[in-house]
């Protein structure tokens, strides 16, 4: 078995697929050929049985006809004393003996005494015909009894011939039924074996394809922490090694990118701090009183330095979130209490815009990282506050089923444009629908939400909704 598995492992996907088709085709072909050979043999047997039945019937009829001819010739010879009638008797007797010999061969179950008795009776009749004239006339009654015995023997032989035909027909029908059952079993067995082979090869060949699909999905999701190992045909194993090399290469590039962002962010913070300090000195008129135009320029500088610092901090925060998502501290967590805490932490933001935040439903505790879930719910709330109209309502709905907990966040803002729905969770992506007069965000809040939720084994998605955005988080309730 191990040797066979080793041989299979050296073959490629195409070779294994071809081998599977060849094995199934060979199995069905062998079954079909065997069925054809069996049908041909049964047809030949049926034809032979039919010919034997015809010959048996003909010989029985011939024996009866020749016996009648013998009796007629004997009576005519006794009356007319013409030797020609005796010769006719001898000719009919010879043909009758031939028919009798054929019947004795074709009727093995009939006792040989029946045929011997017929020969004895026919020979006694011939002896009477060979006797002198005076003696022949005296033996007419004996001759009549002899032919009566011959006719009775013919009837018994005819009846035995009929029984033999019935026995042969029954035997042929039994063989046909037996072969039909055998062929039915072989066909069903071949079909079951073909299905088992097809299913087995399909499962064995689809498993590495599923492993490759899963590996590609992990690469697309920037999950480089698990080795890629593909089991199966040789060419798919080579593809798995190439994907693993690609994983390590992408992981190195991701680490390089993260280091670059950290370094460039820190490098920018130093001159930016000096720039902000200088702008603050100008704004405080340390170097002298500013004119209105100069004060306007200082305000523009102050605003842009703050925006630049915010973007740098967002870069650092995103890199930290990507790293932190791989290190969770799961503890039993009351989501309803945590949600109220997040809402209270941001009460100034939503109260200043006259918003109302509602929480509906309760769920049992889940195993989650408290700090990460605070960030997740906080980003969802701040995103909803940012896009909600003044006086609007933001609703959080908590539901659960057997193994999942759902958190729905629904606002009354403009919603997400259809063109942005597929990319709303991408880092640094900003949709086309932005709040009027507001500064454009960094586009990393929802991407951090996805990082943290997927690290918990859950999902986050944007659901279709009229008159606002509807985000749903699902967590596995272990």
> Quick one: 179 and 280 in the same domain?
no
Structure tokens at 267: 């490098």
Verify that 296 and 336 share a domain, yes or no: no
Q: What is the pLDDT of residue 397?
A: 92
Considering the domain architecture, whether residues 389 and 414 belong to the same structural domain is answered as yes
Residues 35 and 134 in one domain: yes
For residue 15, pLDDT over 70 is answered with no
pLDDT at 432 over 50: yes
**Domain CATH for 259:** 1.10.287
Q: Quick count: other Cβ atoms within 10 Å of Cβ 71?
A: 20
Q: What is the pLDDT of residues 257-279, one digit of tens each?
A: 767 666 666 666 667 677 777 77
- Per-residue pLDDT of 118-145, as tens digits, reads 888 888 888 887 877 666 666 777 778 8
Three-state SS for 73-106 is HHHHHHHHCCHHHHHHHHHHHHHHHHHHHHHHHH
Q: Which residue has the higher pLDDT, 277 or 11?
A: 277
Mean pLDDT (the chain, rounded): 79
pLDDT of residue 408: 92
In the numeric block, which tokens belong to residue 38? 């069996």
Is residue 379 assigned to a domain?
yes
Judge if 77 and 181 occupy the same domain. yes
Nearest 10 degrees: CA dihedral of 420, 422, 425, 429? -40
At residue 437, the pLDDT reads: 45
Query: Do 387 and 307 sit in the same domain of this protein?
Result: no
Q: Which long-range contacts (CB under 8 A, 24 or more apart) does 235-241 make?
A: 235/12, 235/13, 235/14, 236/13, 236/208, 236/209, 236/212, 237/9, 237/208, 239/212, 240/208, 240/211, 240/212, 240/215
Q: Tell whether the model's pLDDT for residue 12 goes beyond 60.
A: yes
Do the domain assignments include residue 222?
no
Q: Decide if pLDDT at 351 tops 70.
A: yes
Work out the average pLDDT over 230-239.
Answer: 76
**How far is 466 from 470, CA to CA, in rounded Å?**
9
pLDDT tens for each residue of 35-93: 788 778 877 877 887 887 888 888 888 888 888 888 888 888 877 888 888 898 889 88
Contacts 24+ apart (CB under 8 A), 22-29: 23/197, 24/194, 24/197, 24/198, 27/190, 27/193, 27/194, 27/197, 28/190, 28/194
Residues 6+ apart with CB under 8 A from 92: 66, 67, 69, 70, 73
Q: What's the pLDDT tens digit per position in 406-429?
A: 999 999 888 787 777 777 777 766
The domain boundary residue, chosen from 300, 324, 348: 324
Q: Percent of the chain having pLDDT more than 90? A: 4
Q: What is the per-residue pLDDT for 409? A: 92
Whether residues 311 and 385 share a domain: the answer is no
Whether 386 and 435 share a structural domain: yes
Domain count for the chain = 3
Q: Mean pLDDT over residues 233-242, rounded?
A: 78
Residues 6+ apart with CB under 8 A from 254: 222, 224
**Any domain includes 219:** no
**336 shares a domain with 249:** no
Q: Give the torsion sign (CA, 380, 386, 388, 392).
A: positive
Q: Is the pLDDT of residue 4 over 50?
A: no
- Domain span including residue 409: 329-476
Residues 301 and 155 in one domain: no
What average pLDDT does this structure show over 309-337?
A: 71
- Residue with tokens 């069905």, as numbered in its chain: 28
Q: 442-478: per-residue pLDDT in tens?
A: 567 788 888 888 888 888 888 887 778 889 999 887 6
CATH number of the domain encompassing residue 345: 3.30.565.10
Write down the pTM of the prediction. Answer: 0.46
pLDDT digits 0-9 by tens, 89-108: 889 889 888 888 888 888 88
Contact 416, 469 (CB under 8 A): yes
Residue 327: predicted pLDDT: 67
Q: Is the pLDDT confidence value at 435 over 60? A: no
CATH number, domain containing residue 22: 1.20.120.1730
164-185 confidence digits (pLDDT tens): 888 878 887 888 888 788 878 8
Domain end call among 202, 219, 254: 202
Q: Which of 395, 398, 400, 401 is nearest to 470 (CA)?
A: 395
Average pLDDT over residues 385-393: 87
Last residue of a domain, one of 324, 340, 373: 324
The separation between CA 291 and the C-alpha centre of its own chain, rounded to angstroms, equals 79
* Residue 208 belongs to some domain of the structure: no
């Amino acid at each position: 078995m191990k040797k066979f598995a080793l041989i299979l492992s050296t073959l490629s996907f195409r070779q294994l697929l071809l081998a599977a088709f060849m094995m199934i085709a060979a199995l069905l072909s062998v079954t079909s050929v065997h069925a054809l050979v069996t049908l041909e043999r049964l047809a030949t047997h049926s034809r032979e049985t039919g010919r034997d039945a015809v010959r048996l019937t003909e010989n029985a009829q011939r024996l009866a006809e020749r016996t009648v001819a013998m009796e007629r010739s004997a009576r005519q010879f006794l009356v007319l004393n013409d030797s020609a009638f005796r010769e006719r008797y001898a000719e009919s007797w010879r043909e009758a003996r031939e028919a009798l010999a054929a019947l004795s061969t074709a009727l093995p179950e009939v006792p040989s005494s029946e045929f011997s008795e017929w020969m004895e009776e026919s020979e006694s009749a011939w002896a009477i015909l060979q006797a002198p004239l005076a003696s022949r006339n005296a033996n007419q009654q004996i001759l009549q009894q002899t032919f009566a015995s011959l006719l009775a023997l013919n009837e018994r032989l005819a009846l035995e011939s009929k029984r033999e035909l019935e026995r042969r027909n029954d035997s042929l029908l039994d063989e046909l039924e037996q072969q039909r059952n055998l062929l039915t079993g072989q066909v069903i067995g071949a079909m079951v074996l073909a299905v088992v082979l097809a299913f087995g090869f399909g499962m064995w060949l689809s498993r590495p394809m599923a492993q490759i699909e899963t590996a590609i999905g992990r690469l697309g999701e920037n999950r480089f922490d698990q080795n890629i190992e593909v089991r199966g045909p040789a060419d798919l194993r080579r593809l798995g090694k190439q994907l693993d090399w690609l994983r390590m290469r992408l992981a190195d590039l991701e680490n390089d990118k993260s280091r670059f962002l950290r370094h460039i962010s820190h490098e920018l913070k130093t001159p930016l701090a000096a720039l902000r300090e200088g702008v603050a000195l100008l704004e405080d008129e340390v170097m002298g009183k500013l004119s209105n135009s100069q004060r306007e320029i200082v305000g523009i500088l102050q605003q842009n330095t703050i925006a630049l610092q915010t973007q740098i901090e967002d870069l650092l925060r995103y890199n930290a979130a990507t790293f932190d998502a791989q290190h969770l501290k799961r503890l039993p967590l009351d989501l309803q209490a945590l949600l109220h805490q997040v809402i209270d932490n941001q009460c100034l933001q939503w109260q200043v815009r006259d918003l109302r935040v509602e929480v509906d439903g309760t769920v049992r505790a889940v195993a989650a990282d408290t700090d990460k879930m605070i960030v997740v719910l906080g980003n969802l709330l701040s995103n909803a506050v940012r896009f909600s109209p003044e006086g609007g309502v933001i609703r959080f709905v908590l539901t659960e089923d057997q193994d999942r907990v759902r958190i729905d966040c629904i606002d009354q803002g403009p919603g997400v444009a259809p063109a942005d729905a597929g990319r709303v969770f991408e880092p640094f992506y900003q949709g086309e629908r932005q709040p009027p007069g507001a500064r454009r965000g960094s586009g990393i809040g929802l991407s951090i939400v996805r990082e943290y939720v997927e690290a918990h084994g859950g999902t986050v998605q944007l659901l279709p909704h009229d008159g606002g955005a509807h985000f749903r988080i699902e967590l596995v309730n272990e």
